[in-house]
Amino acid sequence: MTKDQGQRTALMQQHILSTLQEIVGKDQVTTERADLICYSYDATQQKFLPEAVVFPANAEQISLIIKLANAEKVPVFPRGAGSGFTGGSLPTQGGIVLVTSRLDKILRIDSDNLVAEVQPGVVTEQFQQAVEKVGLFYPPDPASLKFSTLGGNVAECAGGPRCVKYGVTKDYILGLELVTPQGDIIRTGGETMKGVVGYDLTKLMCGSEGTLGVITKIIIKLLPLPEGRKTMLVLFDSIDGAAQAVSAIIGGKIIPATLEFMDATTIDCVRKATGLQLPEAAKAVLIIEVDGEREMLERQAKKILEIVEPLGVVETRVANTPAESEDIWKVRRLVSPSLRKVNPDKFNEDICVPRSKVPDMIRAVEAIAQKHAIPIVNFGHAGDGNIHVNVMIDKKVPGQQEKADQAIEEIFAAALKLGGTMSGEHGVGITKAPYIAMELDPAAVAYMKAIKKALDPNNILNPGKILLD
Amino acid sequence: MTKDQGQRTALMQQHILSTLQEIVGKDQVTTERADLICYSYDATQQKFLPEAVVFPANAEQISLIIKLANAEKVPVFPRGAGSGFTGGSLPTQGGIVLVTSRLDKILRIDSDNLVAEVQPGVVTEQFQQAVEKVGLFYPPDPASLKFSTLGGNVAECAGGPRCVKYGVTKDYILGLELVTPQGDIIRTGGETMKGVVGYDLTKLMCGSEGTLGVITKIIIKLLPLPEGRKTMLVLFDSIDGAAQAVSAIIGGKIIPATLEFMDATTIDCVRKATGLQLPEAAKAVLIIEVDGEREMLERQAKKILEIVEPLGVVETRVANTPAESEDIWKVRRLVSPSLRKVNPDKFNEDICVPRSKVPDMIRAVEAIAQKHAIPIVNFGHAGDGNIHVNVMIDKKVPGQQEKADQAIEEIFAAALKLGGTMSGEHGVGITKAPYIAMELDPAAVAYMKAIKKALDPNNILNPGKILLD
């Protein structure tokens, strides 16, 4: 167990700070209050002040920091861009925030073997642009990609719209270099497409939210860049129609690159906030994008429109140019900013259910919203059943937070009852940790805790996350 | 530590046997020598006699067996079909062989969600046929698929020719039910396409060779069955030509379903053993199969042939019917039986290198073969750099086994030097365990051992595998 903040002096002991400075250089450690505040929060808007923030330059420095932390029993909280939705990088126990921003190099892109090697601090979109320049493709596309880092994406196993066809971050991670919770530098996996020597520590690290090691290098599998893409916006007169469309398209042997969904409340929000013309009869929207060989796209788009036609289509917009495609995606991107007009405080829960259960899930959410009389807005990745359920409240109104808490627990219960999970891509962090026993067997939690304890006996690395250790 | 066989009485103690009989029923436990022999070996041809063989019917019985084994400190060796190439299921320390053959039900195939749930003893090919009947597709296709089980495939993370396009077994495993090394029944993952709640125990189990849990249920992701396939046999006048063809095809943005390779020695073997007409000038063969939308296949096949044409093509055979496709695959299937004509004893090492390094690897193997004056035959999955390097000797000839041992170590060293791994799909088991330190950092091995020890403190479950614990 680490000492909690109360037991330690409010400021980090001087000899620890001095050693940190020796390791990374004097100007790469800060204890300035303004700096500490900058690294005290993430996308959850929760705040925990660290005692020091360090900016190591390489794995060797990180190894020394972790060894120091073990010796001194000070917790270390690795952090990419801090764009997580569940508090995975928050310094909940003070200690040291270890920022990976200086490890920001794309080390190589190997077009022969469709492999790249990067440092963890590379921003996802910058990496995507770099590989696309040489005709390659890195599919995972979390909404945060303009600022989130690849290291954070691996730690959280980030998803995104394209996952319905292409899978999630972990499907693209071949190998890692990492610093273990006891400060050893190890390599896991490798750069081959296959490898079965020893336990798969690479995949174990994906989604372990920085609790089992600090990622210092990532070997990434790439794909050839699809020749083209074609985007369609289809408006349905009911949620059931849209949901049936999802199943029917995939049943028709087409797995589109994206199958994004918005419910009636989402459409209303977008309409009100932006003045965008969307017909009143539209109660659900699908944004469908196919990609691949150019000669195939028109045919696939036509087939999709035939499949969905009998399912209550109100209107269809097919993009014929990149600009028109951009117009369609604009509708999707307007969702998040629009929601704030409903209510100022948003709790975005990314439950995931088997895709055929999406209508049941939406109905369950509607009932929960009605019961507690708070707006809940649903949109997200219908193709893989990963719906973002946004509970919208105003914390300043007495009783609303309590209602939201109750609603969120009921939403998780509904997802689990339908064979789903409480998180498809955001992780557990601290916000979902209290609910983990709803989803996992006690023995499974014990199995996970045994792994954490074996690898991090001093509970130094990102303690207090996922398992409530 | 488990007691070794020497310390125990040669026969299992009567009270343990009685309890086993109570758990699974009297007729589902055997200690008959003839039965023990049947479960003493796998595809390595090594033999270790167990003390008892049990055939449990369900997870509850397996849980009781494992709890008994912990109480009595008797090792348990889970076993599917025993088709492994590295001894992963061998009862190296006597004890109990736990056979999954009675857990052989396909529990459900869910066409709406492209998911199936099966018991571990289902034979891979039978499962493939069952899902194909309803228009679905389970890609992993290890050569053993006619008899290997899905549980064994998961435990070893089996591969196969189609992995170049479709990935390996672990890419299709969404969730598991398993009995932990201490006898708890837990579920990992789920049936959704995404899920990030807790550590990814599902992927950790894939390829852990039965050392971290006994798989009792598997939730499998399926794909829509491709509309059609087209097979081509291309004969090259050099290995370099064939290897360049692999890179050029993928560089041309086509990822075929298979890209199988045979070297000159392999062609010779097939020619001599079967009388099959293959031109003398052919020094390397690629079997290329594309699959997908019918309208795309002809175009892709044509493009592939254009790409490879300048690379020293001696002859091309394109299948226009399923029967002609079958004829081409017959060439590939004749390889293994043909090899025994070279020499009676085969050591099949499935090294894997980045695909651009395949020619370097083949040259390194040729030099090793020359140095030790023993035939080494190369074929396999060139598309993902996973070459099966077959060291062919006659154990009865004095000195040949020693030469083979030396050659194998040099082959591993060559693969590692090229950025590869000593096993792409066969696993470590006992045959590669002595070499594991050539590939893994000592700290990585320690990290893996810490996991094993934390989960299996009595070292009961499949001890002595992978990590030489």
DSSP 8-state symbol, B261: E
B180: closest chain A residue by CA: A447
Per-residue pLDDT at A469: 66
- How far is the C-alpha of B288 from the C-alpha of B255, rounded, in Å? 10
In chain A, positions 49-88, which contact chain B (CB-CB < 8 Å)? none
Task: Give ipTM to 2 decimals.
Answer: 0.95
Cβ separation A194–B299 shorter than 8 A: no
Whether residue A15 has pLDDT greater than 60: yes
Instruction: Return all residues near A376 (Cβ < 8 A) that are at least 6 apart.
Output: A265, A365, A366, A368, A369, A389, A390, A391, A392, A407, A411
Instruction: Identify all chain B residues contacting A112, using CB atoms and an 8 Å cutoff.
Output: 247, 251, 354-356
- When pLDDT is averaged across residues A323-351 and rounded to a whole number, the result is 89
Interface test with A, best of B141, B194, B416, B438 (most A CBs within 10 A): B194
B201 touching A (Cβ < 8 Å): yes
Nearest to A187 among B208, B295, B444 (CB): B444
For residue B469, give the 3-state DSSP assignment.
Answer: coil
**Beta strands B173-179 and B185-189, pairing class:** antiparallel
The CA–CA distances, whole Å, from B169 to A384, B138, B141, B222, B269 equal 20, 9, 9, 11, 30
Instruction: Identify all chain A residues contacting B190, using CB atoms and an 8 Å cutoff.
Output: 419-421
- When pLDDT is averaged across residues A300-318 and rounded to a whole number, the result is 96
Structure tokens at A456: 């991090």
In chain B, positions 322-351, which contact chain A (CB-CB < 8 Å)? none
Name the class of domain A106-224: alpha beta
- How far is the C-alpha of A86 from the C-alpha of A84, rounded, in Å? 6
Per-residue pLDDT at A10: 54
Q: Which amino acid is at B181?
A: P
The CA–CA distances, whole Å, from A349 to A85, A91, A261, B30 equal 9, 22, 15, 52
| DSSP-assigned beta bridge partners for residue B116 | B109, B220
Cβ separation A355–B112 shorter than 8 A: yes
Whether residue A42 has pLDDT greater than 90: yes
Decide whether B228-337 matches B342-417 in CATH topology. yes
B192 touching A (Cβ < 8 Å): yes
Per-residue pLDDT at A252: 85
State chain A's mean pLDDT as an integer: 94
B187 touching A (Cβ < 8 Å): yes
A168 touching B (Cβ < 8 Å): yes
Specify the residue for token string 């709790």.
A347
Cβ separation A419–B191 shorter than 8 A: yes
Cβ separation B426–A196 shorter than 8 A: yes
Sign of the alpha-carbon dihedral angle for B302, B304, B309, B310: positive
A438 touching B (Cβ < 8 Å): no
Q: Which phi and psi (to 5°) does residue A264 adopt?
A: -60, -40
Nearest to B251 among A111, A352, A421 (CB): A111
Where in chain B are the domains? 106-224, 228-337, 342-417
Per-residue pLDDT at B275: 80
- How far is the C-alpha of A240 from the C-alpha of A255, rounded, in Å? 19
Check whether domain A343-417 has CATH 3.30.70.2740, yes or no: yes
Which CATH code is given to the segment(s) A228-337? 3.30.70.2190
Interface test with B, best of A113, A196, A448 (most B CBs within 10 A): A196
Tens of pLDDT, residue by residue, chain B (469 residues): 343 444 444 578 999 999 999 999 999 999 999 999 999 999 998 999 999 999 999 999 999 999 999 999 999 999 999 999 999 999 999 999 999 999 999 999 999 899 999 999 999 999 999 999 999 999 999 999 999 999 999 999 999 999 999 999 999 999 999 999 999 999 999 999 999 999 999 999 999 999 999 999 999 999 999 999 999 999 999 999 999 999 899 888 889 999 999 999 899 988 888 788 889 999 999 999 999 988 889 999 999 999 999 999 999 999 999 999 999 998 888 888 888 878 899 999 999 999 999 999 999 999 999 999 999 999 999 999 999 999 999 999 999 999 999 999 999 999 999 999 999 999 999 999 999 999 999 999 999 999 999 999 999 999 999 987 6
Per-residue pLDDT at B7: 42
Asked whether B351 and B387 are in contact (CB, 8 A), the reply is yes
Nearest to A454 among B441, B445, B451 (CB): B451
Per-residue pLDDT at A334: 86
B439 touching A (Cβ < 8 Å): yes
Cβ separation A251–B451 shorter than 8 A: no
Portion of chain A with pLDDT greater than 90, in percent: 88
B199 touching A (Cβ < 8 Å): yes
Nearest to A296 by CA among A197, A229, A207: A229
Per-residue pLDDT at A76: 98
DSSP assignments along B25-83, one per residue: -GGGEE--HHHHHHTSB-TT--B---SEEE---SHHHHHHHHHHHHHHT--EEEESS--
- How far is the C-alpha of A115 from the C-alpha of A108, rounded, in Å? 8
**pLDDT tens figures, A403-450:** 999 999 999 999 999 999 999 999 999 999 999 999 999 999 999 999
In chain B, positions 247-306, which contact chain A (CB-CB < 8 Å)? 247, 250-251, 253-255, 293, 295-296, 299
Per-residue pLDDT at B279: 92
- How far is the C-alpha of A193 from the C-alpha of B383, rounded, in Å? 9
Cβ separation A447–B201 shorter than 8 A: yes
- How far is the C-alpha of B87 from the C-alpha of B427, rounded, in Å? 9
Name the class of domain B342-417: alpha beta
Per-residue pLDDT at B469: 66
- How far is the C-alpha of A221 from the C-alpha of B460, rounded, in Å? 36
Instruction: Identify all chain B residues contacting A195, using CB atoms and an 8 Å cutoff.
Output: 352, 421, 423-424
